[in-house]
Amino acid sequence: MRYLSLIILFISASFILGSQTDEIMNEANNLYQNKQYQEAIEKYNSILELNYESSVLYYNLGNAYFRSAQIGKAILNYERALKLDPNNEDLLYNLSIVRSRTTDRIKEVPKIFIVEWWEILISSLTTTMWQILVLVFYLVLISSITLYFVTKSGTTQRITVFTSLIGFSGAIFLSLILFANVQRETSTEFGIITTNTISAKQSPNESSDDVFVIHEGLKIDVQDEFSDWYKIKLSDGKVGWLPKNSMEII
């Protein structure tokens, strides 16, 4: 009975949280429609404070920041939405529009075609979707092997051999993609500059020499941290240190 009570309590809490977030989301959407963008931002952020997140929430928050001319925060939230829904065309379009308003135009270091193709592939779906695909192919493999030993039909056995090969090959290949996707998510952090203009330092202290200047909205690779500083790398290979309060992690 105790476990049943805990399950019922968990379901009830989830239902209450869902109703609460829906109510606040509707209020925020109405504020946005009435062009009260700062008030809408506050409402959307209050949902995040309830430990709830979704691609729709980040998308709406990005729109509100964009309308209030906060380019860095707009890009930040569009990027967070894309982590949950990487193929959303509206998100990709809005992100391209906002990026066109940024100051910096940094050329990326050219990548080998196969490396670029691989990065696009592993980031095309979320980790959860890759997990589901791996599971599907493993089920195909197991089902085919089982059917091979159960059936007495020679034709069916030949078909199951073929489907087993498909299931095995697909499961192995997708497992590699899943591993690469998880490794990329856990080992690589990206941030968005939210300060209008900031000078990157040669080392993590204010008295250090400036190495380059960057502006709001730029996406950077976060490589390390020390005290109140992040070591960052630009897409053209330049490296420097920035104060943590000048940016936010995606």
Per-residue pLDDT of 228-239, as tens digits, reads 999 999 988 899
List of residues 6+ apart from 156 with CB closer than 8 A: 147
Residue 107 dihedral angles phi and psi, to the nearest 5°: -80, 135
> Tokens for 192?
């968005």
Q: What is the pTM of this model?
A: 0.72
To which CATH superfamily is domain 189-249 assigned? SH3 Domains (2.30.30.40)
Long-range CB pairs of 85-88, under 8 A, 24+ apart, other chains included: 85/55, 85/126, 86/123, 86/124, 86/125, 86/126, 87/124, 87/125, 88/55, 88/59
How does pLDDT run across 5-61, given as a tens digit for each residue? 444 434 444 444 567 889 999 999 999 999 999 999 999 999 999 999 999 999 999
pLDDT in the model for residue 13: 43
Q: Which residue is it, tokens 């592939």?
A: 121
Name the CATH superfamily, with its identifier, for domain 2-99. Answer: Tetratricopeptide repeat domain (1.25.40.10)
CA–chain centroid gap for 185, Å, is: 8
Amino acid at 193: I
